[in-house]
């Protein structure tokens, strides 16, 4: 063999080896990088919600096979206790290394989180739904990896709609009102026996009432709190006040007996229970309630549709995002390792285990594409690019403020403008 051919052969072999090396490095970097893996035994504390340990254990086992000296302990909390327990633990410097973070929490909790290393940020940009970026980044840094997505959509009882000749769900608010009037039923003495939609009242009888009203605010081009100025837009802007009034008046009209679209009152079953039992034809809710409905009413023939749009809509489509991610505490002594585990858990190889175990909507684009074949999931996926996250420092207090607005208008205690004026001061107090 000539010297030239030998050099070419050696060069080709070296190039092939280099390409294989790059592929191997890329594969392992997508599953976790362990940038500064400690040699001693290490325990990571992972605090979460909703999911039992068996959801994460297969992923934890796979990670611990790669890193035998690492132990990951998962602890499940109840929703009512989680945020306060987390704040108290972090303040005492004894909190978890890894914690679950709601998509609305970054403005108030970013100072408790450690930013992700560049390898994790790059993996997020390459693989995750970009509509989540506003919720998980701040100042150009990634603080949270979304574990799943969810948003507000319209649930409907197919059989009830079919009885009235409706083969498809309403697409616009004009159609929605037409459906409501056709689907509701009253007894001979005027008692509402079946509602066209669960809409118009407070959270006393309607699940996620404040989120539905928030959606209507956004759809009307106004948000309760401006995240930049931390002020209520309608406080000094007459046009914003008119848009907010229209949203509040539209919402409460469905619980106003003097209105043609009257279809709900607080004497009805709680909205989800009413939907289970066929006492209401339509309701607004999130994808996380799909398995709840299936378990409570396995034979209920229901569908999901995108939210109705306004005729001649000038503000574009919108829905309220409601989902959770995971971040790393800035008090953790093992921040690089904690981020490495989160990158491993949300990698293309391991993440499908989490989605299969939870039945949730994927935050990764590759897995989300596969879920479009599910007709119950498709409307949520179709809307995912239009998710917005209301700026709020305290979700419970925000709900109380919205409930008071709704109740005061329904009880004729205040006009929509008076209710909004009263709410504005309370809203601004939340962000002082």
This prediction's pTM: 0.90
170-197 pLDDT, tens digit per residue, is 999 999 999 999 999 999 999 999 999 9
Q: In the numeric block, which tokens belong to residue 279?
A: 């006492």
Q: In the numeric block, which tokens belong to residue 2?
A: 């000539």
93-148 pLDDT, tens digit per residue, is 889 999 999 999 998 899 999 999 999 999 999 999 999 999 999 999 999 999 99
For strand 319-320 and strand 98-102, is the pairing parallel, antiparallel, or unpaired? unpaired
Check residues 24 and 320 and name the one with the higher pLDDT: 320
Rounded Cα–Cα distance for residues 223 and 233 (Å): 7
Left, alpha or beta for 77 (phi > 0: left; psi -120 to 50: alpha)?
beta
Q: What is the CB-side half-sphere exposure of residue 266 using CA atoms within 13 A? A: 11
Contacts of the segment 378-381: beta carbons below 8 A, 24+ positions apart = 378/304, 379/153, 379/154, 379/304, 379/305, 379/306, 380/149, 380/150, 380/151, 380/153, 380/287, 380/304
Rounded Cα–Cα distance for residues 325 and 105 (Å): 10
Q: In the numeric block, which tokens belong to residue 70?
A: 């690492």
% of the chain with per-residue pLDDT over 70: 91
Rounded Cα–Cα distance for residues 272 and 293 (Å): 8
Q: Taking the alpha carbons of 247, 250, 254, 258 in that order, is the dihedral positive or negative?
A: positive
Give residue 40's pLDDT band: very low, low, confident or very high (50, 70, 90). Answer: confident
* CA 76 from centre of chain: 19
Give residue 363's pLDDT band: very low, low, confident or very high (50, 70, 90). Answer: very high
The DSSP bridge partners found for residue 328 are 98, 114
Rounded Cα–Cα distance for residues 225 and 390 (Å): 8
User: What number is the average pLDDT over the span 147-155?
Assistant: 98
Contacts of the segment 271-279: beta carbons below 8 A, 24+ positions apart = 271/198, 271/205, 271/206, 271/207, 272/207, 274/195, 274/198, 275/155, 275/157, 275/198, 275/300, 275/302, 276/300, 278/157, 278/159, 278/160, 278/194, 279/193, 279/194, 279/195
For strand 387-388 and strand 319-320, is the pairing parallel, antiparallel, or unpaired? parallel
Quick one: pLDDT at residue 39? 74
20-31 pLDDT, tens digit per residue, is 443 333 444 444
CA dist 391 → 68, 103, 240, 432 (Å) = 42, 10, 17, 13
In this model, does residue 8 exceed pLDDT 50?
no
Q: In the numeric block, which tokens belong to residue 336?
A: 């690089």
Quick one: pLDDT at residue 21? 41
| Residue appearing with tokens 């285990």 | 353
Rounded Cα–Cα distance for residues 369 and 362 (Å): 9
Q: How far apart are the first and last CA of the chain?
A: 81
Contact between residue 280 and residue 195 where contact means Cβ atoms under 8 Å apart: yes
In this model, does residue 266 exceed pLDDT 70?
yes
One-character DSSP codes across 237-265:
-HHHHHHHHHHHHHHHHTT-TTSTT----
CA dist 105 → 129, 143, 304 (Å) = 18, 11, 28
CA dist 249 → 59, 394, 412 (Å) = 49, 25, 12
In this model, does residue 246 exceed pLDDT 70?
yes
361 Cβ partners below 8 Å, 6+ apart?
148, 149, 150, 287, 323, 368, 371, 377, 380, 381, 384
Give residue 36's pLDDT band: very low, low, confident or very high (50, 70, 90). Answer: low
Q: In the numeric block, which tokens belong to residue 404?
A: 């008071």
What is the dihedral angle through the alpha carbons of 14, 19, 22, 23, rounded to the nearest 10 degrees? -140
Per-residue DSSP letter, 227: T
Quick one: pLDDT at residue 315? 61
In this model, does residue 247 exceed pLDDT 50?
yes
Rounded Cα–Cα distance for residues 249 and 220 (Å): 12
225-236 pLDDT, tens digit per residue, is 988 888 999 999
């Amino acid at each position: 063999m000539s010297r030239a051919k030998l050099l070419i052969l050696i060069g080709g072999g070296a190039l092939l080896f280099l390409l294989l090396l790059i592929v191997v490095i890329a594969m392992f970097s997508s599953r976790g990088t362990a940038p500064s893996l400690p040699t001693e035994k290490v325990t990571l504390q992972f605090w979460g919600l909703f999911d039992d340990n068996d959801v994460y254990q297969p992923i934890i086992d796979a990670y611990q096979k790669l890193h035998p000296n690492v132990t990951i302990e998962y602890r499940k909390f109840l929703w009512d206790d989680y945020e306060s327990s987390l704040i108290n633990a972090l303040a005492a410097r004894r909190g978890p290394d890894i914690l679950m973070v709601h998509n609305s929490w970054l403005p108030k909790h970013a100072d408790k989180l450690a930013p992700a290393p560049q390898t994790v940020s790059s993996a997020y940009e390459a693989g995750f739904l970009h509509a989540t970026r506003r919720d998980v980044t701040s100042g150009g840094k990634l603080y949270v990896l979304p574990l799943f997505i969810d948003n507000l959509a319209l649930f409907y009882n197919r059989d009830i709609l079919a009885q009235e000749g409706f083969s498809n769900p309403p697409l616009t608010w004009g159609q929605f009102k037409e459906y409501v009037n056709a689907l509701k039923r009253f007894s001979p003495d005027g008692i509402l026996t079946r509602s066209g939609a669960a809409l118009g009242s407070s959270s006393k009888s309607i699940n996620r009432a404040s989120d539905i009203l928030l959606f209507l605010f956004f759809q009307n081009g106004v948000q309760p709190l401006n995240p930049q100025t931390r002020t209520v837009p309608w406080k000094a802007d007459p046009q914003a006040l008119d848009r907010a009034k229209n949203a509040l008046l539209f919402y409460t009209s469905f619980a106003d007996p003097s209105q043609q679209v009257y279809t709900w009152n607080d004497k009805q079953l709680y909205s989800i229970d009413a939907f289970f039992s066929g006492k209401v034809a339509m309701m607004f809710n999130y994808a996380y309630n799909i398995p709840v409905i299936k378990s409570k009413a396995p034979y209920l023939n229901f569908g999901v549709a995108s939210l109705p749009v306004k005729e001649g809509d000038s503000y574009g489509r919108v829905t309220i995002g409601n989902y959770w991610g995971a971040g790393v505490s800035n008090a953790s002594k093992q921040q690089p390792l904690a981020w490495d585990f989160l990158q491993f858990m949300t990698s293309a190889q391991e993440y499908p285990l989490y989605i299969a175990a939870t039945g949730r909507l994927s935050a990764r684009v590759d897995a989300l594409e596969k879920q479009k074949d599910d007709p119950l999931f498709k409307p949520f996926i179709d809307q995912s690019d239009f998710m917005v996250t209301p700026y709020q420092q305290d979700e419970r207090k925000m709900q109380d403020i919205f409930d008071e607005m709704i109740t005061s208008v329904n009880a004729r205690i205040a006009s929509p403008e008076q209710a909004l004026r009263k709410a504005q001061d309370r809203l601004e107090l939340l962000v002082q």
